[in-house]
A and B are shown apart, each in its own frame.
Chain A
Amino acid sequence: MESRRKRRRSQFYKWGLYVLLLLACTVLQTVPGFLQFGQAKPVFLLPLALAVAVWEDEFSGALFGAVCGLMWDYTAGRTVGLLALALMMLSFGVSVASQLYLKLTQTNFALVTAGALALVLCSDFLFYYAMPGYSNMLERFVGYVPLTVLMSAVLSVPLYRAVRWTSETFKIDNGVI
């Protein structure tokens, strides 16, 4: 059983590291030309939000997801709140699913990330590309969505491991066995 002061410090370090990861992911996601193949480029913020959601509880995960979403809204030039709401709900859902149904493995996480990202990208494509009636929809979809989902799912594994390490290293020992 740790003292309250020690637990508070441990929590501070843990969330500090999560915030640093958030900044790093934002930067990596927006560095011009970084890991860009044609129109596709990996997304880092969504896998990070989901990783935190599965290693923390649904409440903290959902709030962190909302912050990640706000950051993504800003970098992608989307109306504030749109991706924040989406990531908040996805983080909540994935956290609950991981507690109740999912076995936590890297492969499972990569698959869940791929599914969630496909959902977000498809809805974004629907609202920002298909509904305004832009031409060349199929070309954009094929050139962007599948490769982005694939790259992001692969790169979600190191993020998952980083979050797992952070969560386990700064885990609170409450004395319960």
Chain B
Amino acid sequence: MKDFFETWKFRILIAVAVFLAGLMAYAAANGRLTAAPQELLSVAVAPFQKVASLVGGGVSSVWEKYTSIDETMEENEALRAENAELRRQLVDYDQLKAENEAFKNLAGIQEDNPEMSFVSAFVIGRDALDAFGGFTLDKGTAHGVERGDTVIDDEGQLLGTVIEADLTSCRVLTILHPSFNAAGVVSRTRDNGILTGDAAYAAKGQCVFTDLSRESMASVGDEIITTGLGGVYPPDILVGRIVSIEPEASGTSVIAVIQPDADVLGVKQAFIITDY
């Protein structure tokens, strides 16, 4: 073992470690999460993730059908081929059905917001290491997606923002993340505040609306929407409803706990606003 530390292999490992540390420093200095090697890996893995999420999520009934077909396959070889073909068609059908429904919803959103451009995307990955529900979508820079684009669900409700866009996939920072910040307003009272995430509420799928004036007349059940201030998020995007109002630690303002209208932790399909 002692000899190993004097070999060229050990020097290569040290060089790789230095390279990785350099990548990390470069990425951190430029506010990025990925670098060229990972982008290559992401391009390779995205199609597999797409198929797996489709099979695992939208067409879970296929497995049951598959096992029952297995028994039939043993009895009749001819039916086996036919059934396999039917299963493949069923997967295609489910995918088309899901896309069709998504586009119907998109048509509705587009009607309400004719100035916006959307890209439809499926959630292909969620890693449990992210405590705030961050996920990966199957659309990337090749589809016109850029960092900072707003992500909404199929009913036009805010999910988050793109924090990293690779060639064929992108990573979304959800509204549950404490790093997420968007200007919002209480729809009924027009009180302004900052929409952000809070670790105390993220596990329940809730976020918070901070800097709300103590004199605000906002109450439980009021809807929060984006203001569009700052130009990062489009205006009038639905966020969620107030479920409770709590005093802020300093006492100068209050915090409203928001139950997002979108299912941030379980969403399977999303739209990325690429232009507005």
Contact = CB atoms under 8 A, between A and B. Distances in A.
Interface of A: 23-24, 26-34, 36, 39-41, 43, 58-59, 62-63, 66-67, 70-82, 84-85, 88-89, 92, 96, 99-100, 121, 124, 128-129, 132, 134-137, 139-140, 143-144, 148
B45 A27 contact: yes
Interface residues of B, number: 54
Contacts of B49: 26-27, 30-31
A88 B17 CA distance: 8
B27 A80 contact: yes
Contacts of B12: 59
B200 interface: yes
Contacts of B22: 81
Given A27-B52, A31-B52, A88-B20, A63 B13 contact: yes
Interface stretch (B109-117, B127-135, B184-192): B127-135
Nearest to A137: B199
Contact of B199 (A31, A76, A134): A134
Contacts of A67: 41
25 contacts: A27-B45, A27-B48, A27-B49, A27-B52, A30-B127, A32-B123, A32-B125, A39-B131, A40-B128, A41-B127, A59-B12, A62-B16, A66-B16, A71-B41, A72-B127, A73-B34, A77-B33, A77-B134, A77-B171, A80-B23, A80-B32, A81-B21, A85-B20, A96-B1, A144-B131
Contact of B9 (A59, A89, A137): A59
B268 to A, nearest CB: 7
A121 to B, nearest CB: 8
A32 B124 CA distance: 7
Interface string B42-63: 1011001100110011000000
A103 B182 CA distance: 55
A140 B38 contact: no
B148 interface: no
B35 interface: yes
Contacts of B123: 32
Given A73-B34, A78-B129, 5 more contacts: A26-B48, A27-B52, A32-B56, A59-B10, A96-B1
Given A129-B131, A144-B128, A74 B23 contact: no
Contact of A85 (B1, B24, B53, B199): B24
B220 interface: no
B20 A77 contact: no
Interface residues of A, dominant DSSP: helix
A75 B136 contact: yes
B79 interface: no
Contact of A132 (B16, B53, B178): B178
Contacts of B164: 77
A115 to B, nearest CB: 18
Contacts of A88: 13, 16-17, 20
A122 to B, nearest CB: 12
A-B pairs with the 3 shortest C-beta distances? A81-B24, A134-B199, A30-B125
Given A40-B128, A63-B13, A129 B24 contact: no
A67 B41 CA distance: 9
A34 B56 contact: yes
Q: Could you say which of B10, B34, B129, B203 has the most chain A C-beta atoms within 10 Å of its C-beta?
A: B129
Contacts of A99: 1
Contacts of A39: 128, 131, 203
B147 interface: no
B80 to A, nearest CB: 25
